[in-house]
Amino acid sequence: MSRPQKQCIFCTNPANSKEHFWPEWMHELLPQLPDPRHNRKAYHYHPKVGTIEEGASHRPGALHTIKIRAVCATCNTGWMRNLEEAARPFLTPLIKGSLIALGVEQGTIVARWVALKCIVAEHASRDTTLTPETDRFALRDRGAIPDYFQIYLINHNIKHGIRYNRHSVGISLTGPVSNPPPWGRPKNVQSISFLLGRILVHLNASRIENYTIESRYRTFPINVWETCRLWPFVGNNMVWPRRPLLDRGGVSSVSSALEIALSGPRSRGVTTLQRARDG
Protein backbone atom coordinates (compact mmCIF):
# COMPACT_ATOMS: atom_id res chain seq x y z
CA MET A 1 0.00 0.00 0.00
CA SER A 2 1.43 3.36 -0.95
CA ARG A 3 1.55 6.10 1.63
CA PRO A 4 -0.87 8.97 1.08
CA GLN A 5 0.94 11.85 -0.58
CA LYS A 6 1.43 14.98 1.47
CA GLN A 7 0.06 18.26 0.26
CA CYS A 8 2.30 21.16 -0.77
CA ILE A 9 2.59 23.55 2.19
CA PHE A 10 2.04 26.56 -0.12
CA CYS A 11 -0.92 25.36 -2.23
CA THR A 12 -3.28 22.41 -2.70
CA ASN A 13 -1.10 20.36 -5.08
CA PRO A 14 0.60 17.16 -3.93
CA ALA A 15 4.09 17.74 -2.47
CA ASN A 16 5.84 16.15 -5.44
CA SER A 17 9.08 18.12 -5.47
CA LYS A 18 12.17 17.92 -3.31
CA GLU A 19 13.71 21.20 -2.27
CA HIS A 20 17.40 21.59 -1.44
CA PHE A 21 17.65 23.32 1.91
CA TRP A 22 20.99 24.80 0.80
CA PRO A 23 20.28 25.64 -2.87
CA GLU A 24 22.48 24.05 -5.53
CA TRP A 25 23.98 27.31 -6.77
CA MET A 26 25.25 27.92 -3.24
CA HIS A 27 27.11 24.63 -2.85
CA GLU A 28 30.35 25.84 -4.43
CA LEU A 29 30.38 28.76 -1.99
CA LEU A 30 30.03 26.51 1.07
CA PRO A 31 32.88 24.71 2.85
CA GLN A 32 34.01 21.56 1.02
CA LEU A 33 35.29 18.63 3.04
CA PRO A 34 37.35 15.73 1.57
CA ASP A 35 35.16 12.87 2.88
CA PRO A 36 31.96 14.60 3.87
CA ARG A 37 29.67 12.97 6.42
CA HIS A 38 26.83 14.34 8.41
CA ASN A 39 24.53 13.75 11.34
CA ARG A 40 20.80 14.32 11.31
CA LYS A 41 19.21 13.86 14.70
CA ALA A 42 15.96 14.71 16.42
CA TYR A 43 15.41 14.72 20.17
CA HIS A 44 11.82 14.72 21.40
CA TYR A 45 11.24 15.60 25.02
CA HIS A 46 8.04 15.07 26.94
CA PRO A 47 7.91 15.70 30.68
CA LYS A 48 6.21 12.33 31.24
CA VAL A 49 8.22 10.25 28.79
CA GLY A 50 11.65 11.84 28.87
CA THR A 51 13.81 12.18 25.76
CA ILE A 52 13.45 10.05 22.64
CA GLU A 53 16.29 10.26 20.13
CA GLU A 54 16.03 9.40 16.45
CA GLY A 55 17.96 9.90 13.23
CA ALA A 56 21.31 8.91 11.80
CA SER A 57 24.93 9.70 12.61
CA HIS A 58 27.96 9.84 10.38
CA ARG A 59 25.97 9.40 7.17
CA PRO A 60 28.08 9.71 3.99
CA GLY A 61 27.58 12.83 1.88
CA ALA A 62 27.75 16.54 2.48
CA LEU A 63 25.13 18.05 4.74
CA HIS A 64 24.39 20.80 2.25
CA THR A 65 22.96 18.23 -0.20
CA ILE A 66 19.98 17.39 2.03
CA LYS A 67 16.54 17.85 0.52
CA ILE A 68 13.12 18.35 2.04
CA ARG A 69 9.88 17.10 0.50
CA ALA A 70 7.24 19.66 1.45
CA VAL A 71 6.35 21.55 -1.73
CA CYS A 72 5.07 20.97 -5.28
CA ALA A 73 6.98 21.41 -8.54
CA THR A 74 4.82 24.40 -9.52
CA CYS A 75 5.72 26.34 -6.37
CA ASN A 76 9.33 25.16 -6.36
CA THR A 77 10.04 26.19 -9.95
CA GLY A 78 7.72 29.21 -9.88
CA TRP A 79 7.47 31.80 -7.11
CA MET A 80 10.01 30.05 -4.86
CA ARG A 81 12.66 30.08 -7.57
CA ASN A 82 11.87 33.71 -8.39
CA LEU A 83 12.36 34.69 -4.76
CA GLU A 84 15.59 32.73 -4.62
CA GLU A 85 16.90 34.43 -7.78
CA ALA A 86 15.98 37.82 -6.36
CA ALA A 87 17.82 37.06 -3.10
CA ARG A 88 20.91 35.52 -4.66
CA PRO A 89 22.84 38.76 -5.41
CA PHE A 90 22.55 39.73 -1.71
CA LEU A 91 23.09 36.26 -0.28
CA THR A 92 26.33 35.74 -2.22
CA PRO A 93 28.34 38.52 -0.51
CA LEU A 94 26.84 37.57 2.87
CA ILE A 95 28.03 33.98 2.37
CA LYS A 96 31.49 35.10 1.22
CA GLY A 97 31.85 37.67 3.97
CA SER A 98 32.29 40.56 1.54
CA LEU A 99 30.95 43.97 2.31
CA ILE A 100 27.28 44.53 1.63
CA ALA A 101 24.76 47.16 2.68
CA LEU A 102 21.14 46.12 2.71
CA GLY A 103 18.56 48.84 2.33
CA VAL A 104 14.92 48.20 3.15
CA GLU A 105 14.12 46.78 -0.26
CA GLN A 106 17.10 44.38 -0.46
CA GLY A 107 16.82 43.44 3.20
CA THR A 108 13.16 42.56 2.74
CA ILE A 109 14.05 40.19 -0.11
CA VAL A 110 16.69 38.46 2.03
CA ALA A 111 14.28 38.27 4.99
CA ARG A 112 11.57 36.75 2.77
CA TRP A 113 14.02 34.15 1.53
CA VAL A 114 15.02 33.28 5.11
CA ALA A 115 11.33 33.06 6.10
CA LEU A 116 10.69 30.73 3.17
CA LYS A 117 13.62 28.48 4.10
CA CYS A 118 12.56 28.36 7.73
CA ILE A 119 8.95 27.49 6.86
CA VAL A 120 10.07 24.70 4.51
CA ALA A 121 12.45 23.36 7.17
CA GLU A 122 9.70 23.53 9.76
CA HIS A 123 7.62 21.20 7.58
CA ALA A 124 10.33 18.56 7.13
CA SER A 125 8.36 16.74 9.82
CA ARG A 126 4.71 17.61 9.99
CA ASP A 127 4.15 17.03 13.67
CA THR A 128 6.35 19.91 14.86
CA THR A 129 5.11 22.76 12.68
CA LEU A 130 4.35 26.30 13.81
CA THR A 131 3.41 28.55 10.87
CA PRO A 132 -0.26 28.17 9.86
CA GLU A 133 -1.53 27.93 6.30
CA THR A 134 -2.85 31.51 6.14
CA ASP A 135 0.64 32.85 6.90
CA ARG A 136 2.28 30.47 4.41
CA PHE A 137 -0.11 31.56 1.68
CA ALA A 138 0.46 35.25 2.56
CA LEU A 139 4.21 34.75 2.03
CA ARG A 140 3.51 33.15 -1.36
CA ASP A 141 0.96 35.76 -2.51
CA ARG A 142 2.24 39.00 -1.02
CA GLY A 143 5.72 38.23 0.23
CA ALA A 144 4.37 38.85 3.76
CA ILE A 145 6.74 37.69 6.49
CA PRO A 146 4.86 36.43 9.57
CA ASP A 147 4.85 39.24 12.15
CA TYR A 148 6.06 36.88 14.90
CA PHE A 149 9.30 36.14 12.97
CA GLN A 150 12.49 37.87 14.11
CA ILE A 151 15.39 37.26 11.74
CA TYR A 152 19.08 37.81 12.52
CA LEU A 153 22.22 37.64 10.36
CA ILE A 154 25.32 37.25 12.51
CA ASN A 155 28.94 36.87 11.43
CA HIS A 156 31.06 34.04 12.81
CA ASN A 157 34.56 32.63 12.40
CA ILE A 158 33.88 28.89 12.06
CA LYS A 159 35.80 28.03 8.90
CA HIS A 160 34.64 24.57 7.89
CA GLY A 161 31.28 24.07 9.46
CA ILE A 162 27.81 23.49 8.10
CA ARG A 163 25.11 23.41 10.75
CA TYR A 164 21.39 23.42 11.08
CA ASN A 165 19.49 23.57 14.36
CA ARG A 166 15.80 23.78 14.96
CA HIS A 167 14.30 23.87 18.38
CA SER A 168 10.52 23.87 18.62
CA VAL A 169 8.30 23.69 21.64
CA GLY A 170 4.65 23.60 22.53
CA ILE A 171 4.65 25.81 25.59
CA SER A 172 1.91 26.66 27.99
CA LEU A 173 2.74 29.41 30.45
CA THR A 174 1.84 28.43 33.97
CA GLY A 175 -0.85 30.41 35.73
CA PRO A 176 -4.62 30.46 36.11
CA VAL A 177 -5.29 31.34 32.47
CA SER A 178 -4.28 28.97 29.71
CA ASN A 179 -1.86 30.95 27.56
CA PRO A 180 -1.97 29.99 24.74
CA PRO A 181 -5.43 28.43 24.50
CA PRO A 182 -5.10 24.63 24.60
CA TRP A 183 -5.71 24.15 20.87
CA GLY A 184 -3.88 25.15 17.70
CA ARG A 185 -0.55 24.19 16.16
CA PRO A 186 1.56 21.42 17.69
CA LYS A 187 4.35 23.91 18.43
CA ASN A 188 4.10 27.59 19.27
CA VAL A 189 7.69 28.75 19.83
CA GLN A 190 10.68 27.90 17.68
CA SER A 191 14.20 28.93 16.88
CA ILE A 192 16.01 27.93 13.71
CA SER A 193 19.71 28.50 13.03
CA PHE A 194 21.85 27.56 10.08
CA LEU A 195 25.24 28.50 8.76
CA LEU A 196 25.49 30.07 5.31
CA GLY A 197 29.21 30.53 4.75
CA ARG A 198 30.32 33.43 6.98
CA ILE A 199 26.83 34.10 8.24
CA LEU A 200 24.79 32.47 10.98
CA VAL A 201 21.14 32.88 10.03
CA HIS A 202 18.89 32.78 13.06
CA LEU A 203 15.12 32.96 13.47
CA ASN A 204 13.19 33.39 16.70
CA ALA A 205 9.43 32.94 16.45
CA SER A 206 6.83 32.93 19.19
CA ARG A 207 3.09 32.66 18.71
CA ILE A 208 2.32 33.08 22.40
CA GLU A 209 1.20 36.44 23.68
CA ASN A 210 3.76 38.16 25.91
CA TYR A 211 6.43 35.57 25.28
CA THR A 212 9.58 36.32 23.34
CA ILE A 213 12.86 34.43 23.32
CA GLU A 214 14.68 37.77 23.21
CA SER A 215 13.18 38.96 26.50
CA ARG A 216 14.21 35.75 28.25
CA TYR A 217 17.76 35.44 27.01
CA ARG A 218 20.25 38.18 26.14
CA THR A 219 23.46 37.09 24.48
CA PHE A 220 26.64 38.27 26.18
CA PRO A 221 28.83 40.33 25.94
CA ILE A 222 27.08 41.82 22.89
CA ASN A 223 23.35 41.34 22.63
CA VAL A 224 22.97 40.14 19.03
CA TRP A 225 19.21 40.66 19.20
CA GLU A 226 19.97 44.39 19.24
CA THR A 227 22.92 44.58 16.88
CA CYS A 228 22.26 41.99 14.16
CA ARG A 229 18.55 42.01 13.49
CA LEU A 230 17.61 41.99 9.82
CA TRP A 231 13.85 41.73 10.32
CA PRO A 232 11.89 43.69 11.46
CA PHE A 233 14.28 46.44 10.38
CA VAL A 234 16.43 48.20 12.90
CA GLY A 235 17.99 50.73 10.56
CA ASN A 236 17.73 51.95 7.02
CA ASN A 237 21.00 50.67 5.72
CA MET A 238 22.46 47.70 7.56
CA VAL A 239 26.02 46.70 6.67
CA TRP A 240 27.62 43.26 6.88
CA PRO A 241 30.13 41.95 7.99
CA ARG A 242 29.30 43.45 11.37
CA ARG A 243 30.12 42.94 15.01
CA PRO A 244 30.16 40.73 16.94
CA LEU A 245 32.18 38.00 15.24
CA LEU A 246 30.95 34.86 16.96
CA ASP A 247 33.32 32.01 17.73
CA ARG A 248 32.19 28.39 18.03
CA GLY A 249 30.87 28.97 21.54
CA GLY A 250 29.01 32.08 20.43
CA VAL A 251 27.38 30.23 17.54
CA SER A 252 26.25 27.47 19.83
CA SER A 253 24.87 29.87 22.43
CA VAL A 254 22.80 31.75 19.82
CA SER A 255 21.65 28.42 18.32
CA SER A 256 20.60 27.29 21.80
CA ALA A 257 18.72 30.52 22.57
CA LEU A 258 15.37 28.82 22.98
CA GLU A 259 16.80 26.05 25.15
CA ILE A 260 18.37 28.67 27.39
CA ALA A 261 15.20 30.79 27.45
CA LEU A 262 13.18 27.73 28.43
CA SER A 263 15.33 27.07 31.44
CA GLY A 264 13.80 30.16 33.03
CA PRO A 265 10.71 30.12 35.24
CA ARG A 266 7.06 30.01 34.21
CA SER A 267 7.31 27.97 31.08
CA ARG A 268 6.99 24.28 30.42
CA GLY A 269 6.49 22.36 27.25
CA VAL A 270 6.96 19.44 24.96
CA THR A 271 10.08 20.15 22.97
CA THR A 272 11.73 18.85 19.83
CA LEU A 273 15.31 19.55 18.91
CA GLN A 274 16.30 18.80 15.32
CA ARG A 275 19.98 19.05 14.72
CA ALA A 276 22.07 18.46 11.60
CA ARG A 277 25.77 19.04 11.30
CA ASP A 278 28.69 17.89 9.29
CA GLY A 279 31.07 15.40 10.85
Residues that bind Zn ion (CB under 5 A): 8, 10-11, 13, 72, 75
- In the bound state with Zn ion, the residue whose beta carbon lies nearer, of 73 and 158, is 73
What is the Cα–Cα distance from 207 to 184, expressed in whole angstroms?
A: 10
Q: How far is the CB of 140 from Zn ion (least distance, A)?
A: 8
| Minimum gap (Å) between residue 73 Cβ and Zn ion | 8
CA angle 18, 20, 26 (to 5 degrees): 155
Cis ω before 89 (30° cut-off from 0): no
**Nearest CB to Zn ion, comparing residues 8 and 83:** 8
Task: Report the residue number, 71 or 200, with the smaller CB distance to Zn ion.
Answer: 71
CA distance 89 to 91: 6
**Minimum CB separation from Zn ion for residue 71, in Å?**
5
What is the Cα–Cα distance from 144 to 6, expressed in whole angstroms? Answer: 24
* Nearer to Zn ion (CB atom), residue 75 or residue 200: 75
Query: For Zn ion, which is the closer residue by CB, 11 or 110?
Result: 11
Report whether 165 contacts 192 (CB < 8 A): yes
Cα angle 224, 239, 152; round to 5: 35
Min CB(75)–Zn ion separation in Å: 3
Closest distance to Zn ion from the beta carbon of 119 (Å): 12
How far, in Å, CA of 63 to CA of 277, rounded?
7
Strand partners, 50: 46
Rounded to 5°, angle at Cα 260 from 258 and 265: 100
